[in-house]
Amino acid sequence: GQQVMQIPQYQHVQEGEDFTTYCNSSTTLSNIQWYKQRPGGHPVFLIQLVKSGEVKKQKRLTFQFGEAKKNSSLHITATQTTDVGTYFCAGPNTGTASKLTFGTGTRLQVTL
Amino acid sequence: KAGVTQTPRYLIKTRGQQVTLSCSPISGHRSVSWYQQTPGQGLQFLFEYFSETQRNKGNFPGRFSGRQFSNSRSEMNVSTLELGDSALYLCASSLAAIPFSYEQYFGPGTRLTVT
């Protein structure tokens, strides 16, 4: 079945450093969604990308969808302690969009 | 607008029992999805309902079932509980008429512990 892997699993950065998480799907995705889950919280929607090669920015966050629509990345510039959490990508496979598969997640820890 | 609500928030059950979890979506959202989150398996899709019909189903045994009512509220049921069913069960609602084509709003989850 469809698998969505994210790397790294965990990253610890100093505040002000940049951070990137990569998402790779075994199948083509009709869209990619990114969510953030704070410790003890629930996933919160960040953004959705639909087009091949699409790039979207939200303040310090930059999201990219690969040309083949099988991979994506999230880059955070100058991390802050408020960025702490686990970042998940998620995507339905193309065609029937029969289920939404979440990536394995990247846990980000930011220290002063 | 009120967010997605789930009840109960915490639940402790014994192996072999059954449990029913409830989810109230955001007003106007007709799609409701359920997910199981565990440290080992991550976030896994259970099923998705739209206008009282199950549109999609994940790879879970038949012990896991759900339904959606005419007001879009949804319930999921797990019968014959096993220790491995201990997890955070998350419900998400969406405006999406096409499955997973739109953002999902998650509820706070129900933490189920099976002893």
A11-54 pLDDT per residue, tens = 999 999 999 999 999 999 989 999 999 999 999 999 999 999 99
pLDDT above 70: percentage of residues in chain A: 96
Give me the residues of chain B with pLDDT under 50, please. Answer: none
Say whether B101 and A92 touch across the interface (CB within 8 A).
yes
Residue A33: what pLDDT? 95
pLDDT band for position A100 (cuts 50, 70, 90): confident
Cα–Cα–Cα angle for B104, B105, B106, rounded to 5 degrees:
115
Q: Kindly report the nearest CA distance between residue B40 and chain A, in angstroms.
A: 10
Looking at the complex, does the CB of residue B101 fall below 8 Å from at least one CB of chain A? yes
CA B12 to chain CA centroid, nearest Å: 17
> Does residue A96 have a pLDDT over 60?
no
Within 13-52 of B, beta carbons closer than 8 Å to A belong to 33, 35, 42-45, 48
Residue A95: what pLDDT? 58
Chain A nearest-CA residue for B98: A97
Structure token digits, residue B96: 């999406």
Say whether B45 and A45 touch across the interface (CB within 8 A).
no
Question: How many C-beta neighbours within 10 Å does residue A49 have?
Answer: 22
Measured between CB atoms, which of A48, A97, A98 is closest to B103?
Answer: A48
Say whether B59 and A1 touch across the interface (CB within 8 A).
yes
Structure token digits, residue A12: 């610890």
Name B13's Cβ contacts closer than 8 Å, sequence gap at least 6. Answer: B19, B81, B112, B113, B114, B115
Whole-number CA gyration radius for chain A: 13
> Does residue A68 have a pLDDT over 60?
yes
